[in-house]
Structures are given as C-alpha cells and as structure tokens.
Amino acid sequence: MSDDGPARLTPEQLRSHQWFGTEGALRTWSHNARMRQLGYEDEEYRGRPVVAVVNTWSDINPCHVHLRERAEAVKRGVWQAGGFPLEFPVATLSETYQKPTPMLYRNLLAMETEELLRSYPVDAAVLLGGCDKSTPALLMGATSADVPALFVPAGPMLPGHWRGATLGSGTDMWKYWDEHRAGNLTDCELRELQGGLARSPGHCMTMGTASTMTAAAEALGMTLPGACAVPAVDSAHERMAAASGRRAVELAWTALRPSRILTREAFHDAVTTVLCLGGSTNAVIHLIAMAGRAGVALTLDDFDRIARTVPVLANVRPGGRTYLMEDFHFAGGLPALLSRITDLLHLERPTVNGTLGGQLDGARVHDDDVVRPRGNPVAAEGGVAVLRGNLCPDGAVIKHIAASPHLLRHTGPAVVFDDYRTMQRTIDDPGLNITADSVLVLRGAGPRGGPGMPEYGMLPIPEHLLKQGVRDMVRISDARMSGTSYGTCVLHVAPESHVGGPLALVRTGDRITLDVAARSLRLDVDDEELARRRAGWSAPPERYGRGYGALYDAQVTQADTGCDFAFLARRGAVPDPYAG
C-alpha cells in the first residue's frame, strides 16, 4: 500500500482475466462463447471486476425471504461502479425449520461458499445472509477462499406487537409459552399472539444470535458502517445493499482480501463488541471458528479476559430489559456504541471501508437509554462468563446478564436427562421430585451427540413449578441456547458427554455447585467415585453410516474450539483451480 492509497490492479491482473481475457486460448474462446449464450456482449464483462452476489435467499427462510430483492440492489450497485455482477444461490440455513439444527450445516455452507468463490471467475464477493449460522458460514468460506468480500446483513424484522405490548421474537415466545403452560394464557390468546410476534421479513429483532453475529461482522470490518442494525424492510436497507455492490467493485480493483482485514486485533474488537452488546453465547463458538479460518488463535480465555474489562452498554433485549434492534438503529447503531468504547478498540486497523477509526468519525448516540453511557451501563462487565471445573475441564459458558442474580451462586441436586426427547416427555413428571433448587442436567446434546449441538440449553421449567411462580432454575447442558433465550443456563460444556466428558458421569441426586463470580462449575463427587463411573462408561453407537452426517461426525471439533471441521480449520496450501 502506497502513501496515496492501495495499489490498483490493471484489468489484466484481475482474477477473472484468466477465464475471459487471454486471447488465442481455446478455453478462453469457449468461455466467451458461453457468455454470449447467456446473453452478454464482451464489453459488459471483459476487463471489468466480476462480483459474485452470494445469496442465501429461500422460500423456507423467513429471515432471508427479502434477499432476492436485495440481490438486485447489490447488482445495481455493481453495475453503477463499473463491475459485472453474477448471482450465486447457496444453501439457506433456516433457523426455524432445518432439523435437527442448522448448526449441523454451518460448515457445509462454509465449504460451499469457499469452493464457489475459488472455482469460478470471481474477483470479489458480496455475501447476503443474517440468520444465525449463515453469517459465520459465509464469512468462514470467504476467509478460506481469501477473495475480496464484504457482507450484507439481512437486517432485523420489525418489532412485534400484541395488545399494547411490544414483542421481541424468540425472547417473548419463550416467555408467553411459559405463561401458557402455567395456565395464565388461553389457547385463543396464544394464537392471537402468534400473529403479532414476527411482522416482517428479517431476522430476530432482539440481541439474539443473528443480531450479535451481524454486529460482529461489522466490528470485524466486513460490512459498511452501520449496516448491521438497519431494519430489513427499511428503504435504507436497499440503499445499503446497493452501496455494498459499489464498494465490492473497489475491493476487487484494490485486491483488499479478508486476510488483510481479519487480524488478531479485528477479532479482539469483535469479542469486545459482542460483550458490550450483551450478545449471544453462540458468538463464542462462531468467532472462535471464524478466527481459526483466518489463522488467529482465539480461545475461551480471551472471551473471559475481555469480558472483565468491557461494560454492557446496549439496553437491548434479552440482556437489556427494554429495547429492540430498530431502537438500536435509530439510536445510532453499532458506530454509536463503538464510539463510547474507542479506548478498548484498535482504531487504525483496516476494514472494507477504510479504517475502523474512520468508520466511527461523526458517530453519535441519539438515545442514552438505548446505548448507555459508560457511567450508567446495563452491567459493569460483559454479559458472558467462562466457567471451569471438574464438570467442564475444557470450559463452559453462561450469559449471566440474562440470568437470575440469586442463582449465580447455587448448589443443588442434579436431575439428569440423557436426551432431549426423554426430557420433553418426562419433565412434568411429579415422580422426578424436581424443586426450584434442583439443577436440571441435559446431556447428549453436544456437537456430536446432538447431533449438531442444537439449541436445547434453555430447558423447560416443570409445569408445577411454573404454576408456583418459578420462572428460572439452574440448567446445565452440552447444548447451545438461542441467543433470544434467557435464564441461568450453563452451556457448551466441554468435552461433551457423547465423547466421554464428565457430564456423561453425572447421576440424579449428585450435588452441583455453580459460582459465576468464581468462574466455577463443580460436580461435588470425589475423584475415586468418578473414576469408577468412568470405567463403566461406554461410547454411544455410531449414528451415521454414510453421507454428510458421517463426515460431520468424523471431523467436527468440540465447542471450545469452534465446532469447525478439523480438515477445514487447519492451514494448508490449496492449488489454483485454473492451473489444471
């Protein structure tokens, strides 16, 4: 990079020139013949940056159902800047409908994105996504391919409304379902509420995993400034998409690759941002996996260390108690929040739009209750804590900002469930003698045991306790939890029970002690007894005999290392696909 800015490529230096620009080669002649078959003349694409518009649109994905139109806006921006856009449909990861969990397929979308960008004549990419797993998947793939890229977040849906109440998708779904189970909400009221919970295209408008991960993408420097909070149906969202298309052309000409943006400092700032937002625990897994693709060693200890220095300033549900993402957008969005913690950030590092500090120039907070000042935080420390102890030797996490304060130090007897379906079927059984002091334990729900580490971590409270007014209990699992969820839920216990982690050895009646302040989670059983139990443990039978499931089972890593595939997370040379 010179003092006058980044060096610009010539048309002959564009990657797509290998496909379209070399005169006298049969392959080039054939490629150009097929472009004419597609209806294009030479002057439309030759010598121009080819920009892949990577689209996760699908009829079955309500978070992304508007991305067909946004892809057109991106293409408009690419044309305006002198580029040539090509839209590529990729797998959609619908949080609502894909079973057993879209997390099982995050790495599949990452693989598809990587190989698509590598194998086609692409000079830059615009990645369209936003529903929980699609953001990390797209960015993981683009990072591994190392093609200039930027991300267009799908945007949050409009706030929900019902009988004068403002609803947050996910968070209020759990809340009102419990009220229904407690007998405080009729079937008719529940159905009426169903129509007001999700009013538009877009991802959850709480600070769930979707909003957390799109904010992380912006903090990493992979979006235009302010992009993550623009509501999906706001006209500003279409303008942002078009501007992203224009910017992608510039990224192609300057060859600004993810490898120059996604540094250790960038991931440090992304973790700081997630914690300042009171964001989802799922970000821990995703950011560790994303960092691994960039060759950055990010660990659970980094999250815990940074959490002790970062206040929670975003008063957005569920970590905050009041506002939703549209309020956050109009309060100034992520640039406004970051402007209050500039001393904790690396302002000189590059982004797709200059430097981080440059992106924050002129950022202002327009509502001090939505984005709190440092002197009046939602919480003095970041909302996620990392736990250690004999029950989780490789770590576990808890979103203590969304937990009940009186349960953050608690000892109680375990009630153990071996799998989610058994738990669903028996949780209300009076014979289990579950009390408010019990510690609910679910195993068999980790990366391999789930399979795919489903969002089972917010275990339901037994109906008889709900009717007594109990709304929270200590719950422990090797599962994940929806970012829209809440409660005293210990998650991501590693190693998982399916591979013989200590969670596999817990028995009903064992006493468990949680102490968040001490960052401790302990099974109060002596080592000799645990050794006897381990000697009697045997691994569950293999679930998959073939296909993607068998690949997943053989290659997925544990939660503390990001649940990526071992063969994708490692560094290694990949040959130029055009050289063959």
What does pLDDT average to in each consecutive run of 10 residues of the chain (580 residues)? 68 94 83 95 95 97 97 98 98 94 98 97 98 97 98 97 91 89 93 92 96 98 98 98 98 98 98 97 98 97 96 94 94 98 98 96 97 97 94 97 96 97 96 97 97 96 95 97 92 98 98 98 97 96 94 98 96 79
Residue recorded with tokens 């071992």: 566
pLDDT for the residue numbered 59? 96
pLDDT for the residue numbered 580? 47
Distances, alpha carbon 566 to alpha carbons 47, 79, 101, 147, 541, in Å:
39, 39, 20, 22, 22
Q: Distance between CA 81 and CA 250 in Å, rounded?
A: 8
Residues 128 and 175 in one domain: no
pLDDT for the residue numbered 210? 97
Whether residue 311 has a cis bond before it, omega within 30° of 0 = no
Residues 397 and 341 in one domain: no
In 3-state terms, what secondary structure has residue 398?
Answer: strand
Q: Distance between CA 478 and CA 495 in Å, rounded?
A: 8
Provide the CB-side half-sphere exposure for 339 (13 A, CA): 20
Q: Environment class of residue 125 by beta-carbon count within 10 Å: exposed (0-12), middle (13-18) or buried (19+)? A: buried
User: Is 223 within a domain?
Assistant: yes
Sorted by sequence, the CB contacts under 8 Å of residue 53 that are 6+ apart come out as: 71, 74, 75, 78, 85, 86, 87, 88, 125, 126, 128, 245
Q: Distance between CA 470 and CA 253 in Å, rounded?
A: 59
Residues facing residue 512 across a β-bridge: 412, 523
Residues 343 and 204 in one domain: yes
CATH number at residue 393: 3.50.30.80
Residues 175 and 149 in one domain: no
What is the 3-class SS of 496-550, one letter each residue?
A: CHHHCCHHHHCCCCCEEEEECCCCEEEECCCHHHHHHHHHCCCCCCCCCCCHHHH
User: Is 16 within a domain?
Assistant: no
Q: Can you spell out the DSSP letters for 141-174?
A: HHHHHT--EEEEE--BPPPEEETTEEE-TTHHHH
User: Is 39 within a domain?
Assistant: no
Sorted by sequence, the CB contacts under 8 Å of residue 405 that are 6+ apart come out as: none
Helix (H) or strand (E) holding 463: helix 463-467
User: Is 334 within a domain?
Assistant: yes
Query: Tokens representing 463?
Result: 């109906």
Residues facing residue 24 across a β-bridge: none
Domain final residue pick, 515, 535, 555:
535
Residues 269 and 327 in one domain: yes
Strand order in the sheet with 124-129: 84-89, 50-55, 124-129, 149-153
User: Is 449 within a domain?
Assistant: yes
Residues 174 and 241 in one domain: no
Which residue range(s) make up the domain with 139?
A: 48-158+200-360
pLDDT for the residue numbered 5? 56
User: Is 88 within a domain?
Assistant: yes
Residues 513 and 569 in one domain: no
Residues 183 and 326 in one domain: no
Residues 182 and 303 in one domain: no
Residues 399 and 449 in one domain: yes
Task: Judge contact between 472 and 458, C-beta under 8 A.
Answer: no
User: Is 369 within a domain?
Assistant: no
Q: Distance between CA 288 and CA 435 in Å, rounded?
A: 37
Query: Tokens representing 484?
Result: 């829209």
User: Is 432 within a domain?
Assistant: yes
Q: Distance between CA 447 and CA 455 in Å, rounded?
A: 11
Residue recorded with tokens 């970000």: 283
Residues 182 and 206 in one domain: no
Residues 567 and 491 in one domain: no
Q: Distance between CA 317 and CA 338 in Å, rounded?
A: 19
Task: Judge contact between 458 and 439, C-beta under 8 A.
Answer: no
Domain count, the chain: 4
